[in-house]
Chains A and B, each alone.
Chain A
Amino acid sequence: MTKLLEIKDLHVAIDGKEILKGVNLTMRSGEVHALMGPNGSGKSTLSYAIAGHPNYEVTSGEVLLDGQDILELEADERAKAGLFLAFQYPTSIPGVTVANFLRHAVTNVRNPGRKEGEDLVPMRDFRKELRAEMDELGMDPDFARRYLNEGFSGGEKKRAEVLQLAMLRPAFAILDETDSGLDIDAVRVVSEGVNKVAAKVGTGVLVITHYQRILTYIKPQFVHILYGGKIVEDGGPELVDTLEREGYDWVRAKYPNDAKAEDALSV
């Protein structure tokens, strides 16, 4: 069953300052999209706005999941509807183990109608599944007992994000610079993990990255450039090669008005 995520003319402000100025993007199940753009162009802002962070104010536009407007939903309801964001900077939660946290997450996402206080997914099955996924991602089983992201290295945090993705099997996943902080081998392992989930459940993936490497494993059919708060270029994988070769100067030259907006953003 093909699912559809539509972002229509999305405007987002933080503390009253407009960061996104009309973003349009449509994704279907099974598709891989890459989103690139210079630092500060608004990629994480887009991720947070879709995920439902309360500080990111949607001033106009729509985000539709299979035609349903999700902007009115709380972040947890969006996750239960099938959205997943792998954070660029994952938050640590001291004292809460990876396993305990994920058991709650998995329980809620897999039984969206569940009421608070109802049983969690059975411990034995959960443990087994968690262990198998961790194994796939090359994570030490002891990791399950560590406190979530607490004292994790940069790469460990990113792996833990993909572990959660693998356990939650979302309809759409946004990977916000999941490759940054990972060593060369880990980029491959983690990418394979993402691909496997996508193959299994048909996840549509939006890969936000600055580098080509992750895109050689998670191969995008569509590539977008976010610049000055708008998507200014849509293309195929060749766009990645162009950026890798030439950087963003040509984008700047081609879109002088957005370049002004971009400069305004980065003050």
Chain B
Amino acid sequence: MSSATTINAPPNSASVGGFSETAFEAFLATRDEPAWLIERRRQAFAKFQATPWPTARDEEWRRTDIRGLKLDTFGPPILSEPSPADRVAAAPTIDALAAHYATGIAHINASLSQKADASKLGGAVLLDLASAIKLHPELIKKHLLTDPATVEADALSALHAAFWTGGTLLYVPKGVKVEAPLYSLICLAGQGHVDLDHTLVILDEGAEATLVRESTSRGRDDSPAFHAGGIELFVGAGAKLQFVNIQNWDEQTWHFSRERAYVSQNAEIQWTVGGLGSRLAKVNQDVALMGEKANAQVNGVLFTTGKQHLAYFTRQDHIAPHTTSDLLYKGGLKDRSRIVWKGMIKVEKDAQRTNAYQKDDNLVLSNQARADSIPGLEIEANDVRCTHGATAGRVDEEMIFYAQARGVDRATAIRLIVEGFFANVYDRITLEPVRETLRLAVADKLGRR
């Protein structure tokens, strides 16, 4: 139930309401941005206006119903210094990240709340996008939202491209190997309820880095929230990126995210996704293997409770020859929740000797929960190796009995079995704190109600 005040004037978004032309012009007026960027935003906005809102008739939205989203109750976030209360609310998450990683950047309600400690960046650049545009305009101009596949995919991706705010750049120059993992926190706190973050990661030739990104809600009221985000990852030749993205919004938040990695020759990405929060999520996570011998490992850990609906669509686009990709998603579902996973391995004509793997397993913990798991292959080359698979099953009663026969109570037995179910994806994640975060989040959600 929302209180009257939050319905009338959502504090962190424009009172004009919605993402209308008026709202857009008002938004642009608040931005101190170069002409090329304003122009890019205008083009995206035109696209947004011209693109119909998704409906159940669109294949990608067939199982994902967003009619409950009242877009005109949201608007572009108004940037302001985070309040002391909001900082306090966000502090535990920031402290936890700071305890495990070298340094990081944080946004609260789309406004920068913490800068990275430059002395701990190991030669990397980690900045909010507004500063990055001033300090590294050419870099941003070259990489930010230039791919029509990302901008024009649907109305939400166009909305994001027109209105993105906040945002983070991680740039690692040629040959620089950043040893210590860095973090980026996106937080909606207090009365914040709109976030349009854009995360841009650029690793130059031979660079190496790890970035852990987390989005979370802290001490928010129970009004609906809206996130339309974008993630672009550029992994240069021979570079190595480890990117972790943990989505942990509260269950009033609508989450939309368009994400794509571009992996150059001999480059590697390990990309781990945690899908835990939100009321409804529609995520497109794509890896494009652009150069020879590019390699991608994709890991997904999803866990839903209550009436959550998480739709994760993945693509493994093999564009160059001798490329490899290996995707493993695991989902656990409780209550009346639902997970939709749709995967696609696309092998272009030139991408001979591709080796691609794709697997999605789900553990369904209640009669009312439902997992849809739809693998897909589209292969235009003739010398490739592609494997895919999907499973959905219940907790095995024989396992529960075996554990009970050893004195372990039923609830603990189920918890152990569920943890065990996720173990083979945890085993692939080399960052211990990330494994621990996911493990605790899953245990927490499993134990809840």
Contacts and interface: CB of A to CB of B under 8 A. Distances in A.
Contacts of B419: 95-96
Interface stretch (B296-304, B344-352, B401-409): B401-409
B26 interface: no
B125 to A, nearest CB: 39
Interface residues of A, number: 30
B420 A108 contact: no
B417 A105 contact: no
B441 interface: no
Given A76-B410, A116-B411, A116-B412, A94 B420 contact: yes
Nearest to B409: A76
A101 B416 contact: yes
B410 A85 contact: no
Contact of A91 (B399, B422, B423): B399
B397 interface: yes
Interface string A80-98: 1000110100110111100
A197 to B, nearest CB: 15
Given A94-B420, A95-B420, A95-B422, A87 B402 contact: yes
Interface string A98-138: 00111011001100000010000000000000000000000
A14 to B, nearest CB: 14
Contact of B404 (A74, A87, A90, A116): A74
Contacts of B402: 87, 90-91, 93
Nearest to A104: B408
Interface string A188-206: 0000000000000000000
B444 interface: no
Interface string B412-440: 11001101111110000000000000000
Contacts of A54: 397, 401
Contacts of B410: 74, 76
A90 B403 CA distance: 11
B421 A94 contact: yes
Contacts of A213: none
Contacts of B413: 76
Contact of A51 (B405, B408, B411, B424): B405
A217 to B, nearest CB: 24
Nearest to A106: B407
A223 interface: no
B407 A93 contact: no
Contacts of B421: 94-95
A96 B407 contact: no
A75 interface: yes
Contacts of A75: 401, 404-405
A108 B405 CA distance: 11
A97 B70 CA distance: 47
B72 interface: no
A164 to B, nearest CB: 6
A248 interface: no
B398 interface: yes
Nearest to A102: B406
A116 B419 CA distance: 16
Contacts of B406: 76, 79, 101-102, 105, 109, 164, 168
B412 A91 contact: no
Contacts of A74: 404, 409-410
A167 to B, nearest CB: 9
A85 B417 CA distance: 20
A76 B404 contact: yes
Contacts of A105: 403, 406-408
Interface string B381-413: 000000000000000111101111111111111
Contacts of A108: 407-409, 412
A109 B404 CA distance: 11
A79 B401 contact: no
B403 A93 contact: yes
**Which of A95, A101, A109: most chain B CB closer than 10 A?**
A95
Contacts of A91: 396, 398-399, 401-402
A10 to B, nearest CB: 18
Interface in A45-93: 51-54, 74-76, 78-80, 84-85, 87, 90-91, 93
A219 to B, nearest CB: 26
B403 A101 contact: yes
A85 B407 CA distance: 11
Nearest to A115: B409
B416 A93 contact: yes
Interface string B219-249: 0000000000000000000000000000000
Contact of B412 (A84, A102, A104, A168): A104
A231 B412 CA distance: 37
B420 A147 contact: yes
A167 B402 CA distance: 16
B407 A95 contact: no
Given A76-B404, A90-B402, A91-B398, A96 B416 contact: yes
Q: Shortest 9 CB-CB distances between A and B: which pairs?
A: A95-B420, A95-B423, A75-B404, A79-B407, A96-B420, A105-B406, A109-B407, A108-B407, A91-B402
Interface of A: 51-54, 74-76, 78-80, 84-85, 87, 90-91, 93-96, 100-102, 104-105, 108-109, 116, 147, 164, 168
24 contacts: A53-B405, A54-B401, A74-B404, A75-B404, A76-B406, A76-B407, A76-B408, A76-B413, A78-B405, A79-B407, A93-B403, A93-B420, A94-B424, A95-B421, A96-B416, A96-B419, A101-B406, A102-B406, A104-B412, A104-B416, A105-B403, A109-B406, A116-B409, A116-B412
